Structure 1
C-alpha cells in the first residue's frame, strides 16, 4: 500500500495537491511518484505548471489534463527530470494528473532525525518571472546498512528513555553521530552498548528499590516491636501500682 510524505517549501499557491508516493524507498529501487493537482484556476487562468525530480534513470513524466466532462489530454516527457506544461482557461480543466517513474538516488548525507530524504517531485506555478511552489513531495531513502543501523538505534533510544543512565545516553549519542557520518558498523556497536548500559542501569535501579523496600519493612517491624514492648511495659507498671 502506498502512502505519501510531503513537505511544502516557499510560497504556497491556491492549487491543491493529492500526492501518492512511497513514504520510504531503498537506494536504486524503481518507484513511481504521482499527484493530482486541482483548483488550477484559483489564482490565475494563465500560467505554466513546472515539475522537477531528483529521481534518477527517469523513464519520463506523464501529464494528463482532465476536463469536467472527463475528456483527457496526455503529454509525455521521456527521460527528463523536469517538464513545463501551459495551463490556460480555455482548456476548462478540472484537474491535472502527473506521474513520474525513476530510481531512488544515492544518499548524500545521512540524518537520523529527521530521516534523510530526496525530492520525488516538486511542482511549481510559473507566471512570467515569478515561480511559486505548489507542492514538494519528499521520500525517505535508505540503504540496507543504514536501515539496519536505524532499527538498532530506535531500539536503543527506547531502552535509554526508560533509564537515567549517562553511559547509555552517551553511547546512544555516539551511535547517532556514527550513523550520520555513514559509519554503520560503529553505530550498531554503540547502539548495542547503549542497550546493555540501559538494561544494567534498570536492573540496578530495581535492586536498589528492593533493598529500600527491605529496609523500610525492617523499620516498620522495629517500630511495631517497639510499640508492643512499650505497651507491655506500661501494663507491667500499671499492674505493680495495683
Structure 2
C-alpha cells in the first residue's frame, strides 16, 4: 500500500492529537492542595490534598507515599461524589503496602481521594545559605497493582528553619539584608571588596551553623558597604572642602609671609594675632608717610591748576590786546 505525502501528513497530525488527548488525561490530578512552603523545626504541620481522575492511567492501583515528618499520621478518605465511602488512618512515615487499593470495578469505587498527612517538622541536617534546607513533607505515589512500577503523583518540599537567639531564620534575614546593601553600594560604583569578603565569612559561619557569628558578620559587611558608599559620595564634598582649604591656606600663608617681612614677630610668640598686629604696625608707619605725601600732593595740585589757569587767561587777554593793536595800526586814520 502506497502512502501519499498528504496522507502521511494527515496521519501524523492525527497521532499528535491522539497523544495530546492521552496526555491531558494520563495522570491523577491534584486539586485543591494545602501545604506550607516553610516551617519552623519542631512545629506541627499538616499537608492536605485532593486526588481526582483516579482511573486516567489504570483501572486498579494502590496508593502509597512517604514523608520525613516526625510522628506522622496519614488519613486517606475515599469519596463517591459527596459521599464518603471509606477512610484509612495509619501512623508512620509511609502507609503499609496495599493498605489503600483503588479499583474502578468495585461497587464502592471512589472517584476522588482526600489525603492528609500531619506531623512534626524535623531538625536540619545541614545548612546552606545558597541552597536553603528543605525536607520531604510528602510524596504521593501510585503503585501498579502487580507491583511492576510506580509513578509519583505529587511531591512537597518544605523549607525548615530555627528561631533560636539567633536562629537560622534571623541569620538568613541578616544575610539577605547585607546582600541587598552591598549590591546597592556596588551599583553606585563604590568599592565593596572589603564588604564582600566579610559577607563571605558570614555565609561560611551560616553554613557551619554558627548563626551568632553569621549575624554579626552580615551586619558588619552591610556597615562596610554603607561606609564605602558614603566615602564615595563624600569624596566630592571633601574635594570641595580641599579647595576652600587651599584658599584659606593661601591667606594664612600670606599672613605668615607678611609677618616674616615685618620682623618674624609671629615666630617669636607663635601667635598669629601678634604677627597680624606687627604687620599692621608696619603698615601704619608706612601709611602715615603715605598720608603726609598725600596731603602735600593735595595742596600742590590746586596751586598748579591755579597757575595753569592764570597762564591760560593771560594768553587769552594778551591775544585779545594784540588783536586790538593790529586793528589800530599805522594805516588807520587817527582822525577817524
Q: TM > 0.5 between the two?
A: yes
Q: Which one has the bigger helix percentage?
A: 2
Q: Which moved more, 1:117-126 or 1:170-179?
A: 170-179
Alpha-carbon distance in 1 for matches of 2:178, 2:209:
18
1:39–1:95 CA contact under 8 A, matched in 2: yes
CA distance in structure 2 between the aligned counterparts of 1:71 and 1:184, rounded to whole angstroms: 49
Tell me whether 1:149 sits opposite 2:171 in the alignment.
yes
Q: Does 1:81 align with 2:93?
A: yes
Which residue is 2:120 aligned to?
103
The aligned counterpart of 1:132 is 151
CA deviations over 1:168-209 (Å, ceiling 9, x no partner):
112222212221111111111210111111100110121235
Distance in 1 of aligned mates of 2:148 and 2:224 = 58
Rg larger for: 2
The count of aligned residue pairs is 201
Mapped pair 1:123 → 2:140:
yes
Q: Matched residue of 1:102: which SS?
A: strand
Q: Aligned pair 1:42/2:60, yes or no?
A: no
1:199 corresponding residue in structure 2: 226
1:50 and 1:206 mapped to 2: Cα distance? 62
> In the aligned structure 1, how far is the partner of 2:234 from the partner of 2:118?
57
Output the TM-score relative to the length of structure 1.
Answer: 0.76
- The residue number in structure 2 matching 1:3 is none
State the match for 1:231 in structure 2.
none
How many angstroms apart in 2 are the aligned matches of 1:101 and 1:89? 28
- The whole-number CA distance in structure 1 between the counterparts of 2:40 and 2:220 is 27
CA contact (8 A) 2:85 2:110 kept: no
Hey, what does 2:181 align to over in structure 1?
Answer: 159
Q: Give the match's secondary structure for 1:141.
A: strand
Contact map agreement 2:39 2:158 (CA 8 A) in 1: yes
Please name the residue that 1:26 is paired with.
40
**For 2:117, what is the secondary structure of its paired residue?**
strand
Q: Which of 84, 106, 124 is residue 71 of structure 1 equivalent to?
A: 84
Higher fraction of strand: 1
RCO comparison, higher one (Cα < 8 Å, 6+) = 1
- Structure 1 residue ranges without an equivalent (≥5): 1-12, 216-242
Could you give the per-residue CA deviations for residues 86-128 of structure 1, whole angstroms, max 9, x where no partner exists? 1111244332111111111010011223321111111111112
CA deviation map 1:140-191 (0-9, x unaligned)? 1111111111111111111111122011112222212221111111111210
- 1:19/1:137 contact within 8 Å kept: no
